[in-house]
């Protein structure tokens, strides 16, 4: 395809960042920094010029001279034009250093005076360009920036290639971009310096297209629309932006099921060969563009008798990508199909859909085509569309069900039962299931503008609340309106009070109020005969009681699991199955929890429920993380986060869980970034529940990163939050052992013991065996800090054995690591073998790096100096930790060795020594040794 020059992206629209090209830009920039050259290539509109400008802006400052040219198709016949762009402004700087014959030929080519040609002055011109570049390079690095190499006039291309191949070590670098439709960049690469890096730009992903549209101001587009823009554009950023612009300028959005409006500029771009088709071939392609999965057989059934020959004609023109005898008719680019459909008159589109409404074999497809072929209200079409929507829902295609439901509502006459608004609300609920919350919210608000039936209004209010997610403070005004519309109807009141329970938890952080509201909702639903809402309310009540450590939790879970069950609730992320899974995880039944959540995940995937899929992916990742399968947990967590970001559902929770997985089995810096992101989002949303979880993840990542002081700050906040929320079950966040360990590392073993004692009391009451084992591991570190080495070793050995039996692989490995550190103050090649083996089994890479650091720590002096008793008298005014650190300094121990011996961080050693210097009136560790020697001499 050919992109007209006036359609290319203007410089004024250049973004401040290159979206979706970060890795490519990094590789290209590193190549330039090394002194190499870069050739960007890819199809029209893929963003080559944008990346070229970004790289030039970033690197040009390092070059002494920058030469630029940008060719156009309309000027490609003018000889030496690109050469004039490159060298015209610098000729005066190099003219004195060129031989006269070369200078004469070059001046003639650049100015147009005379009749210089490659045939006549070929050698002189070639050598002149090479000499000019070498002369410029003698002053400093030269960067040649050339865009659209495919339109370079042949003479300039030949001269530039001649020079590039002969520059050798001369500091001249090329940064070029060329349009290619495959891997056909070889001839351009051959004309580049030998060290040129070829970088191909491919299509953007859907999230990247979404970010690009947002960055250019096309915000607020429903996710379903962004998905369609990505599909239609094929990930091409230029095409995506033009489609976004067309939508922004269109007074009415496309009807459900219709392709996007394609602007005239894109139609002209992709349909320039359409006039070469026969009228009948064009009609055949229109039918193909209207179909979801067109095949020759389908086209025949739709009345296109000569489909094969007409498709062959289109394939020869490059409009179709497959041979007509293939299994499917595939357009060379999705945009061709959309543009062809947009170009056709409305009556021809309806005729194509009418033909397909009888030709298609799938009932959902037939119903969709019937709707698009029908105008106005039509009860028969509406009924067929509603049936098709139900079928799509059962097939696990809620997004399709939502589209069909909206089409059904469009064709449903007023006064029908069910009415148009009822069908719209069903479509909105399907959209929520599909993760298209923006679409659902828009539908609900539209219904509220005219609905008068209380059931419809309450149902719409619930959709508005549901689409707010964890930002429920934004819809506070909805609750009184929903309660007013519910009146005294127990079924409607149950729906509202179920949402009130969630608000109490998320916004107020009040577990007691949330539990009471959930119980009230269950009672109202039972009275109104609404089993679905009753089951949801009971499941929510059970989860709250589990977090509270309430003794009624097991009983409530059993009530939520009793028959009859609603299949929609059984696998719902807030249903009884989810509550049971949470109970199993907190009760150390990891094997059964894995089986349960895997089955739930399989079912929600079958149903196409995006929010539940995100939730259960996190649940499975958490289970694998507890079991010590860090690699698998990291894969699942990343998948959950990608899906959450793509759908806009559960991003805070997924970022929090992925942070835990990264800190255990991936990249600690990424773990810290994700945890801080989760904390920021939770604070912005006013979500106290997830704020405590996010801070817990941050504290753990800080501990793994070697920042115990930061971990203490984060985890102290968690402790305060959970005390305020009334969360007493330590198996909920499992941060208590990390806080105790971090406190020991910063020299606060007393506070650490207090954390352990309080937490142990709750863990004993609830029977949380794994929590108790982790607390014992932390308590062993407290005992070691107090000098009780034998007792600490015994307690650590017991904790490691218990954690192994419970199946907590990572916690077992951490206990083994602590044992090695206490047993082996002098590191050696085999001292940490057991810890390394266990961490390796878990694929706990960050922890393995800590083991490597311990193994490679320098050996202490073999014969430490023992301080005289009198020397220690000078330390009597110091605190306990300060005395221990000072005494080890007197022995000649390094800061790292002191940290290992006392099980604290090196930073804590340094801070403690600073206090010692201040109290003793000295300046360095050497003064401590001198103090000891002086006391000994007396």
**Using H for helix, E for strand and C for coil, what is the string for 558-621?**
HHHHCCCCCHHHHCCCCCHHHHHHHHHHHCCCHHHHHHHHHHHHHHHHHHCCHHHHHHHHHHHH
pLDDT of res. 356: 92
Give the helix/strand (H/E) hosting 844.
none
Question: Which burial class, exposed, middle or buried, applies to 859 when counting CB atoms under 10 A from its CB (0-12, 13-18, 19+)?
Answer: exposed
Q: What pLDDT shows up at residue 284?
A: 93
pLDDT band at 871 (very low <50, low <70, confident <90, very high): very low
Residues 97, 103: Cα–Cα separation, whole Å = 9
What is residue 819's predicted lDDT score, i.e. its pLDDT?
A: 92
> What is the Cβ-side half-sphere exposure of residue 649, based on CA atoms within 13 angstroms?
25
Task: State the pairing for strand pair 172-179/196-200.
Answer: unpaired
Give the separation between CA 905 and CA 912, rounded to whole angstroms: 11
What pLDDT is attached to residue 186? Answer: 66
The answer to which of 62-66, 568-572, 718-722 has the lowest mean pLDDT is: 568-572
pLDDT grade for 112, boundaries at 50, 70 and 90: low
Q: Which of 28-32, 91-95, 302-306, 886-890 has the lowest mean pLDDT?
A: 886-890
**Residue 520 in this model has a pLDDT that exceeds 80:** yes
Q: How many angstroms separate the CA atoms of 674 and 683, rounded?
A: 14
Q: Which of 591, 505, 605 is nearest to 547 (CA)?
A: 505
pLDDT tens-place string over residues 149-205:
888 888 888 888 888 888 888 999 999 999 887 556 666 666 778 888 888 888 888
Question: What confidence score (pLDDT) does residue 855 get?
Answer: 80
Mean pLDDT confidence for 436-441: 87
List, for residues 911-938, the tens digit of each pLDDT value.
788 778 777 777 666 667 666 655 444 4
9 phi, psi to nearest 5 deg = -65, 120
Please tell me the distance from the alpha carbon of residue 447 to that of residue 429, in angstroms, as a whole number: 13
pLDDT higher than 50, residue 866: no
Question: Contact, 781 vs 818, CB < 8 A?
Answer: yes
Is the four-CA dihedral 126, 129, 134, 137 of positive or negative sign?
negative
For position 460, what pLDDT does the model report?
95
- What distance in Å separates the CA atoms of residue 922 and residue 331, rounded to the nearest whole number? 81
Query: Of 400, 398, 422, 420, nearest to 410 (Cα)?
Result: 420
pLDDT score of 187:
66
pLDDT for position 4: 34
Whether residue 801 contacts residue 621, with contact meaning beta carbons closer than 8 Å, is answered with no
Is beta strand 37-42 parallel, antiparallel or unpaired with respect to 65-70?
unpaired
Secondary structure (3-state) at 219? coil
More confident residue, 423 or 192: 423
The pLDDT of residue 396 is above 70 = yes
Contact 901, 893 (CB under 8 A): yes
pLDDT grade, residue 331 (50/70/90)?
confident
Q: pLDDT digit string (tens) for 777-788? A: 999 999 988 888
- Measuring CA to CA, which residue among 805, 730, 742 is closest to residue 778? 742
Cα 653 to chain centroid distance, Å, stands at 12
Note the pLDDT of residue 261: 78
* pLDDT for residue 858: 61
pLDDT band at 256 (very low <50, low <70, confident <90, very high): low
Is 90 exceeded by the pLDDT of residue 901? no
Q: How many CB atoms lie within 10 A of CB 341?
A: 20
**Does 315 have pLDDT greater than 70?**
yes
At 867, the pLDDT band (50, 70, 90 cuts) reads very low
Query: Is the distance from CB of 846 to CB of 668 less than 8 angstroms?
Result: yes
In this structure, the number of other CB atoms found within 10 A of the CB of residue 724 comes to: 12
Transcribe 348-391 into DSSP letters.
HHHHHHHHHHHH-SSHHHHHHHHHHH--S--HHHHHHHHHHHHH
> Which residues, in sequence order, are bridge partners of residue 146?
69, 176
Considering the entire predicted model, what is its pTM?
A: 0.68
Closest by CA position to 623, among listed 606, 646, 640, 604: 640
């Amino acid at each position: 395809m050919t992109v007209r020059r006036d359609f290319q992206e203007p410089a004024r629209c250049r973004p401040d960042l290159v979206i979706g090209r970060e890795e490519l830009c990094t590789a290209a920039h590193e190549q330039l920094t090394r002194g190499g050259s870069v050739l960007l290539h890819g199809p029209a509109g893929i963003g080559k010029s944008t990346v070229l400008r970004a790289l030039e802006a970033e690197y040009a400052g390092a070059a002494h001279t920058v030469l630029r040219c940008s060719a156009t198709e309309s000027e490609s016949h003018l000889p030496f034009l690109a050469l004039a762009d490159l060298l015209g402004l610098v000729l005066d700087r190099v003219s004195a250093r060129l031989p006269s014959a070369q200078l004469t030929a070059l001046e003639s080519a650049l100015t147009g005076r005379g009749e210089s040609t490659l045939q006549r002055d070929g050698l002189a011109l070639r050598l002149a360009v090479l000499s000019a570049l070498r002369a410029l390079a003698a002053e400093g690095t030269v960067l040649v920036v050339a865009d659209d190499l495919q339109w370079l006039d042949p003479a300039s291309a030949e001269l530039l290639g001649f020079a590039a191949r002969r520059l050798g070590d001369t500091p001249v670098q090329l940064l070029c971009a060329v349009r290619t439709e495959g891997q056909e960049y070889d001839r351009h690469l051959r004309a580049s310096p030998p060290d040129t890096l070829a970088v191909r730009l491919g299509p953007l992903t859907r999230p990247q297209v979404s970010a690009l549209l947002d960055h250019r101001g096309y915000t607020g587009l429903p996710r379903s629309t962004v998905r369609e823009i990505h599909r239609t554009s094929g990930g091409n950023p230029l095409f995506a932006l033009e489609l976004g612009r067309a939508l922004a300028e269109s007074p009415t959005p496309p009807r459900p099921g219709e392709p996007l409006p394609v602007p005239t500029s894109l139609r002209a771009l992709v349909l320039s060969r359409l006039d070469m088709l026969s009228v009948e071939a064009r009609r055949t392609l229109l039918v193909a563009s209207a179909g979801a999965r067109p095949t020759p057989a389908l086209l025949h059934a739709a009345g296109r008798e000569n489909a094969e020959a007409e498709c062959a004609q289109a394939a020869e023109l490059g409009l179709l990508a497959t041979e007509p005898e293939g299994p499917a008719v595939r357009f060379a680019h999705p945009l061709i199909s959309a543009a062809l459909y947009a170009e056709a008159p409305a009556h021809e589109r309806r005729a194509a859909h009418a033909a397909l409404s009888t030709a298609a074999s799938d009932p959902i497809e037939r119903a969709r085509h019937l709707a698009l072929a029908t105008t106005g209200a039509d009860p028969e079409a509406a009924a067929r569309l509603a049936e098709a929507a139900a079928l799509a829902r059962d097939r696990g295609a809620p997004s399709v069900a939502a589209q069909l439901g909206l089409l059904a509502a469009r064709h449903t006459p007023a006064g029908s039962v069910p009415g148009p608004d009822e069908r719209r609300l069903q479509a909105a609920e399907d959209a929520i299931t599909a993760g298209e919350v923006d679409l659902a919210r828009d539908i609900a608000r539209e219904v509220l503008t005219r609905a008068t039936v209380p059931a419809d209004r309450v149902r719409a209010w619930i959709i508005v609340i549901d689409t707010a997610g964890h930002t429920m403070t934004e819809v506070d005004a909805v609750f009184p309106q929903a309660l007013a519309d519910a009146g005294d109807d127990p079924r409607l009141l149950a729906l509202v009070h179920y949402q009130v329970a969630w608000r109490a938890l998320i916004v107020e952080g009040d577990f007691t109020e949330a539990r009471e509201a959930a119980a009230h909702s269950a009672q109202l639903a039972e009275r109104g005969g609404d089993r679905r809402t009753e089951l949801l309310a009971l499941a929510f009540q059970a989860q709250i009681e589990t977090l509270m450590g309430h003794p009624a939790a097991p009983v409530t879970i059993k009530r939520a699991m009793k028959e009859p069950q609603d299949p929609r609730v059984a696998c719902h992320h807030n249903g009884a199955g989810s509550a049971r899974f949470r109970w199993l995880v907190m009760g150390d039944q990891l094997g059964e929890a894995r089986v349960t959540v895997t089955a739930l995940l399989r079912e929600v995937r079958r149903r196409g429920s995006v929010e539940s899929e995100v939730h259960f992916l996190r649940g499975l990742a958490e289970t694998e993380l507890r079991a010590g399968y860090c690699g698998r947990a990291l894969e699942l967590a990343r998948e959950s986060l990608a899906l959450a970001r793509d759908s806009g559902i559960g991003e805070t929770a997924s970022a929090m869980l992925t942070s835990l997985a990264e800190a255990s089995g991936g990249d600690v810096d990424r773990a810290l970034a994700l945890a801080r992101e989760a904390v920021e989002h939770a604070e912005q949303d006013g979500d106290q529940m997830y704020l405590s979880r996010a801070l817990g993840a941050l504290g753990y990542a800080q501990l793994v990163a070697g920042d115990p002081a930061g971990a203490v700050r984060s985890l102290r906040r968690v402790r305060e939050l959970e005390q305020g929320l009334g969360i007493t079950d330590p198996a909920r966040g499992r941060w208590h052992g990390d806080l105790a360990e971090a406190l020991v590392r910063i020299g606060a073993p007393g506070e650490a013991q207090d954390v352990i004692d309080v937490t142990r009391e709750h863990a004993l009451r609830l029977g949380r065996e794994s929590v108790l084992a982790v607390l014992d591991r932390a308590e062993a570190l407290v005992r070691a800090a107090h000098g009780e080495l034998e007792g600490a070793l015994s307690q650590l050995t017991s904790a490691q054995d218990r954690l192994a039996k419970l199946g907590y692989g990572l916690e077992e490995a951490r206990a083994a690591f602590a044992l090695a550190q206490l047993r082996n103050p002098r590191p050696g090649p085999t001292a940490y073998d057991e810890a390394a083996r266990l961490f390796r089994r878990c694929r706990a890479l960050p922890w393995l790096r800590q083991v490597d650091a311990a193994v490679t720590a320098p050996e202490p002096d073999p014969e430490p100096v023992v301080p005289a008793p009198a020397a220690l008298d000078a330390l009597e005014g110091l605190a306990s930790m300060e005395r221990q650190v000072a005494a080890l300094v007197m022995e000649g121990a390094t800061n790292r060795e002191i940290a290992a011996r006392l099980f604290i961080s090196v930073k804590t050693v340094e801070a403690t020594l600073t206090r010692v210097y201040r109290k003793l009136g000295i300046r360095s560790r050497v003064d401590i040794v001198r103090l000891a020697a002086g006391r000994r001499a007396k």
